[in-house]
Amino acid sequence: GQSLEQPSEVTAVEGAIVQINCTYQTSGFYGLSWYQQHDGGAPTFLSYNALDGLEETGRFSSFLSRSDSYGYLLLQELQMKDSASYFCASWPGAGSYQLTFGKGTKLSVIP
Amino acid sequence: NAGVTQTPKFQVLKTGQSMTLQCAQDMNHNSMYWYRQDPGMGLRLIYYSASEGTTDKGEVPNGYNVSRLNKREFSLRLESAAPSQTSVYFCASSEAPGQALGGYTFGSGTRLTVV
C-alpha cells in the first residue's frame, strides 16, 4: 500500500515563501505529484517529480528526495489567491493506475 | 473549453435510492477515474478505467458500479445509496496512467448528500 503524510494546515504572509512537506511510505514508488484545490473547486495539477531534485514552474517549485522518501512544494511570492489546499500524490509505477493522494495541506495566506 | 464535465453538480438522495453520476471528457484521454473526497480524508479512488472496455476496482469500490460507455464517457452508479456515501465525487482523466504527461484533469465534482 501507499501512505503519504502532509501537515494539515499552514499559514503564511502575503509575499513570503512557504514550504509544504510530504513524506511517503510506499510498496512501490515512481514519482510524486502536487495538486492545488481551492474551496469548492476541482483539484488542478501543479507539478510532477520522477527524479531527485528541484522542478521549477514559475512561482512554484517541487522537490523530491527518493533516499529520504520526502518531497516538498515551495511557493514563492505568496499571493492571496494561493490560499487553497495542496495535495501530494504518489504513483507506484508502470502498469498501475492507483494514484494515491495525501490528505492535503490547507494553506492560508494572510495580509 | 476542453476538459472533464460532470453531471449533476448537486444531488440529494434518500437512503436506498439509486442514481448515476455522469462524466465525459473531450481530451481523447485513454484513462478515466472516479474519486470521492471526504473532509480530512483526501481523495480516494473508487474505480478506474485504464482504457475503453476495461474497468477495475480502486481503494473504496464497495457500494458502487461503473460503466465505460465509450472513450469519452465513464459513469458511476450507486445502486442503493447509504448515508456513508455522502461525499464529493470527482471524475478525472489522463492520457497515460499515473502521473505522466501532465497529470490528471479533474471535473468540477458532484456534491452528493444521502439522507
pLDDT in tens, A31-52: 899 999 999 999 999 998 989 9
What's the pLDDT band for B114 if we cut at 50, 70, 90?
very high
Between CA A32 and CA A25 the distance in angstroms is: 12
Give the strand order in the sheet containing A2-5: A2-5, A18-26, A70-75, A60-65, A53-57
**Upstream peptide bond of B8 is cis (omega within 30 degrees of 0):** yes
> Taking CB atoms and an 8 Å limit, are B43 and A96 in contact across chains?
no
State whether residue A44 sits within 8 Å of chain B by CB.
yes
What's the pLDDT band for B102 if we cut at 50, 70, 90?
low
Residues A47-74, mean pLDDT to the nearest whole number: 94
Nearest CB neighbour to B104, from listed A31, A99, A104 = A99
Short-list A92, A98, A82, A99, CA closest to A20: A82
Task: Classify B28 as helix, strand or coil.
Answer: coil
Residue B100 has pLDDT above 60, yes or no: no
Short-list B47, B58, B32, CA closest to A2: B58
For chain A, give percent helix, strand, coil, nearest 5: 5, 60, 40
Residues β-bridged to residue B36: B44, B89
Residue B35 has pLDDT above 70, yes or no: yes
State whether residue A33 sits within 8 Å of chain B by CB.
yes
Kind plus residue range of the DSSP H or E element containing B31? strand B31-38
